[in-house]
Amino acid sequence: MSNEQYLIFTILSITLLLFAWGRWRYDVIALCAMTAVLLFGLVSPTQAFAGFGHTAVITVAAVLVISQALKNAGVVDVVAAYLSPLTSNAIAHIALLTTVVTFFSAFMNNVGALALLLPVAIATAKEHNRSPAMILMPVAFGSILGGMSTMIGTPPNIIIANYRADITGTPFYMFDFSPIGSVIAVVGVVFIALIGWRLIPKQRFDGNTAEQLFEVSNYLTEVKVMPNSPLIDVAVNEIESIQNEDIGIVGVTRGSRLSLNTNPNYAVKENDILILRGDPVSLQSKFADANLEFQTATGKTFEDLTAGDFALTEAVITSTSPLVGRDVSYLRRRTANSVAIIGLAHEGQMLRKRLRNHIFKAGDVLLLQCETAYVSDMLSELNLLPLAERGIQIGQQRRVVIALSIFIAAIMLGAMHILPMAGAFILAILVYTLMGFLPAKNVYQDIDWPIIVLLGAMIPVGKALESTGATGLVASSIVNITAGLPIYIVLTLILVVTMFLSDIINNAATALVMAPISVGIANQLGVNIDPFLMAVAIGASCAFLTPIGHQSNTLVMGPGGYQFGDYWRMGLPLEIIIVVISVPLILIVWPL
């Protein structure tokens, strides 16, 4: 290997390890990788920054903006309004919601589609006294499956479509992914509805009833014992004797010392900090007269949770929320103390430190208190997903028809090659803005900027892989290892390796790394590159084994009370099914 190849392999290996570690956000890691290939002279300054103007980056940003316009128009809300009467049967319930989110995620950002169905899934689960854990993972997986069906359904498809244009001069078009992606989506939904959801650990279904959203109402609330509290000098076990099994004292601290699993004979003192487990509203009914003050919300007591114009809102932290990596004090500063955190649920597990010291992560579920009129603005400003069902606005049906007509027109302009797809979507955004679907000041609000930066920064890294001959070297090694084996075995290997990477690193980064390698293998074998690119597109979207492989999986982890090891139970057989059906389909639709 040449020195340049050693350098790019070292940079790429470190980048992938950092992606998998997850200590830093993926856009920061990608910028570091881009800077490294620039500093070592593996790409020119022009090449290093050309990725941010790449068609794939612009298309991804445009799809995110259009998703927001469709959300504002209430497209999914109108459909969801008719779902509840059809969910009386458990299998029908799972099948219906999974099908709806799968369909919508084919034409809008899959995380956006999930965000719109999340409150509906929770509300219908409560209505039928079912566990949200039974519904949420299937819906999350459905949002991923739907993205495979069209070019705009998921960033990997957009990346692969444009990479083909760079190689051959002709991209994959809007519905080139549909013959394979649609079959995978249909088979996947059938598997999830009939078998998949039964593979979720049964203990996740316990305690998640109509009255309890989380496993054993697993909120933690932190309160201070104020002077003259009737709890002073009362033993912990005596306090717990007035509580039921869903409410408990899990820790007591004085100053900076925290004691979990407190001695039941410990007598509570003035200024002690109690860590309480349970639904804060239920806690309020037990301790309203106990003179306790929330420590995560200055001056808030159990007596004024919903007093006056205040409301309680449950919301899940998204990966793009400004709260990620921050603590309670940041939330209070960011909202000028107008929003109080009343409770927190973290991945269905007990925290091992005080709430005010907890570093927020994507998927954490917060119980927040703020003025009723400010709830919508607060959720938007902090980029949180509400876990309560939204009402349907008057006249919304007409807005839905107009919004969908504009979107369909844009797709037709791109599909008929009258405009490039990116150009058609930008035209649609302009129309949405002029018609009021997208307020001008909010046009860029819902763009997932870390993804945009990731794409722009990793494109030159991919160029460096090609320009140094590294992709050819990897391709030669794989061809030599698989010498004498049928082409479909090599294609299966590409698909499985891509799936594995997508489960531990961002799917867009996976597509950017694997696309040039797959093309290199196809060229050395002297076969059509299209089936290999399709294998990468499918594999990059198959992040079903972990909660970190895809944002949809992360978002349902807290509300569903899932643990890290729950995902592979349904995800592994689903990925095996996808491999079995997709390889023959690829070779039929895109012959060698």
Which is it for the CA torsion 63, 64, 70, 76, positive or negative?
positive
Please name each of the domains of the chain with its CATH number.
Answer: 3-206+444-589 (no CATH), 215-386 (3.30.70.1450)
Q: In sequence order, what are the residues at sequence separation of 6 or more whose Cβ sits closer than 8 angstroms to the Cβ of residue 530?
A: 164, 590
The CA distances from residue 217 to 76, 82, 316, 319, 456, in Å, are 29, 29, 15, 24, 42
pLDDT in tens, the chain (592 residues): 789 999 999 998 999 888 878 778 888 999 999 999 999 999 999 999 998 988 888 988 888 888 888 877 776 667 666 776 777 788 999 999 999 999 989 988 787 788 778 878 887 887 788 888 899 999 999 999 999 999 998 899 999 999 999 999 999 998 999 999 999 999 999 999 999 999 998 877 764 433 344 333 456 777 888 888 888 888 877 776 555 545 667 678 766 555 555 577 788 888 888 877 666 656 666 666 777 877 765 555 554 555 557 777 888 888 778 898 888 888 878 888 788 777 777 655 555 556 667 788 888 888 787 888 888 888 888 888 887 654 444 345 677 888 889 989 998 998 888 988 889 999 999 999 998 888 887 788 778 788 889 889 989 998 898 889 888 888 888 888 888 889 999 999 999 999 998 888 888 888 988 999 999 999 999 999 999 999 999 999 998 998 877 888 888 887 887 887 889 999 999 999 999 999 999 999 999 8
Which is it for the CA torsion 262, 263, 265, 270, positive or negative?
negative
Full DSSP string of 381-408: HHTEEE-SPPPPPTTHHHHHHHHHHHHH
The token duo for 412 is 């037709």
- What are the residues facing 370 on neighbouring strands? 311
Instruction: Phi first, then psi: give them for residue 222, nearest 5 degrees.
Output: -115, 120
d(CA 185, CA 449) in angstroms, rounded, equals 28
